């Protein structure tokens, strides 16, 4: 049963960074201010229901057998992923209280001095800062270096301690971002569409990992910043130094705006996977280029850029396997192109519709968008 849960939870993690997209209207060159017009932030009800069921089931299991660290850990992870999925990749205050209660319950019911792998991992997730968390992660690595739950945490850890080779090796073991996934295809395409010396802002762990992997296929000088990792002091210092950026005196809600204001002249781009809630204050100046938003204080005609990235260039990059919500991020750009060319260039309009259909059919959601290409 534990093996089944681990596999299920690992698969469901990949949903957290997917389905958050951008859009707008043709008259304002499709910037980010009308994100919700064509694509809403996506939460998969089936996955949420499954996680809720697992959370409740493991709660009953620990009540029946409270001495098992494994059962407590499975309960904790099911609850953690449930709250992440229902709150756009974040754990809200209700979730934090429940997770802390689970951690306390585990310490009360299982010998605290045992320092079992499961205990260390819960302490890792509960630590107030990432630097403190790494103390528990290092001990967990000593206990079970090949445990599947470690694989998704190690790239971030090795990045923090500046072990580039180990980070790259660890990345290759995270199957959710491997070269066969749609997330990797999307992030690799994004990387290749960026100008040299760009700073690309990503959302969370998985799209950051996939962007790192994609960066290995180009000679461009790029810096990658996870907007969620900025919330931790240690990770923030590491990422800002790498990117040569300044950032101080900001709130979570205006972090993107402050990055732009405090770093004039820098080529700061935002992946389409970034939650629109982070883009307050600058969304009217962000222009969809197919795989990311480009900031421009002046009006920017993005039509030809969209065409080159999504239609001309896209076919050499995308080789996704299976259905994936992340591919929906491309659809606003395709819709913009089709609307623009529909009355001005019939041939390009048809070409755009064909390419959009290829992507949507690979992702399994063509029926949701076919009406936009008529």
DSSP labels, 82-104: HHHHHTTT---HHHHHHHHHHHH
Q: What is the pLDDT of residues 330-349, one digit of tens each?
A: 889 999 899 999 989 999 99
For the entire predicted model, the pTM comes to: 0.81
| Per-domain boundaries in the chain | 45-175, 177-373
| Mean pLDDT for the stretch of residues 300-322 | 76
Mean pLDDT of the chain: 83
pLDDT of residue 20: 29
Q: How confident is the model at residue 328 (pLDDT cuts 50, 70, 90)?
A: confident
Whether domain 45-175 has CATH 1.10.260: the reply is no
Distance CA 148, CA 174 (A): 9
Of 327 and 269, the one with more pLDDT = 269
Three-state SS for 270?
A: strand
Non-local (6+) Cβ contacts of 1 within 8 A are: none
Q: Is the pLDDT of residue 15 over 80?
A: no
What pLDDT digit, counting tens, does each position of 261-287 carry? 999 999 999 998 888 888 888 988 999
For residue 247, pLDDT over 90 is answered with yes
Q: Give me the pLDDT at residue 260, please.
A: 95
What is the pLDDT at residue 35? 37
Of 290, 302, 282, 301, the C-alpha closest to 194 is 290
Whether the Cβ atoms of residue 302 and residue 234 lie closer than 8 Å to each other: no
Which is higher by pLDDT, 43 or 251? 251
């Amino acid at each position: 049963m534990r093996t089944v849960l681990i596999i299920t939870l690992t698969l469901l993690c990949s949903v957290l960074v997917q389905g958050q997209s951008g859009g707008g209207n043709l008259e304002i060159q499709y910037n980010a201010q009308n994100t919700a017009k064509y694509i809403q932030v996506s939460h998969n009800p089936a996955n949420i229901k499954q996680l809720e069921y697992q959370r409740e089931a493991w709660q009953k299991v620990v009540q029946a057998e409270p001495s098992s660290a494994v059962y407590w850990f499975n309960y904790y992870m099911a609850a953690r992923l449930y709250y992440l999925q229902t709150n756009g990749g974040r754990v809200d205050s209700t979730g934090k209280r429940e997770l802390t209660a689970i951690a306390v319950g585990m310490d009360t019911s299982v010998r605290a001095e045992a320092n079992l792998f499961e205990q260390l991992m819960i302490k890792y997730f509960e630590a107030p800062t990432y630097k403190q968390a790494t103390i528990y992660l290092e001990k967990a690595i000593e206990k079970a270096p090949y445990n599947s739950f470690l694989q998704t945490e190690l790239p971030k850890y090795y990045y923090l301690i500046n072990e580039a080779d180990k980070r790259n090796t660890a990345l290759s073991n995270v199957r959710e971002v491997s070269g066969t996934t749609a997330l990797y295809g999307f992030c690799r395409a994004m990387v290749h569409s960026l100008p040299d010396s760009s700073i690309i802002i990503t959302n969370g762990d998985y799209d950051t990992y996939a962007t790192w992997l994609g960066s290995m296929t180009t000679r461009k000088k790029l810096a990658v910043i996870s907007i969620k990792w900025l919330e931790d002091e240690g990770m923030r210092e590491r990422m800002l130094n790498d990117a040569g950026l300044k950032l101080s005196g900001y709130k979570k809600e205006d972090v993107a705006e402050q990055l732009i204001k405090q770093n004039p002249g820098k080529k700061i781009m935002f992946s389409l996977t970034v939650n629109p809630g982070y883009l307050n204050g600058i969304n009217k100046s962000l222009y969809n280029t197919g795989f990311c938003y480009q900031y421009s204080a002046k009006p920017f005609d993005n039509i030809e850029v969209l065409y080159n990235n999504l239609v001309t260039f896209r076919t050499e990059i995308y080789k996704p396997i299976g259905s994936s919500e992340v591919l929906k991020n491309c659809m606003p750009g395709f819709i913009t192109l089709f609307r623009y060319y529909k009355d001005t260039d019939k041939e390009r309009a048809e070409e755009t519709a064909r390419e959009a259909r290829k992507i949507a059919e690979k992702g399994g959601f063509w029926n949701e968008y076919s009406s936009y290409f008529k």
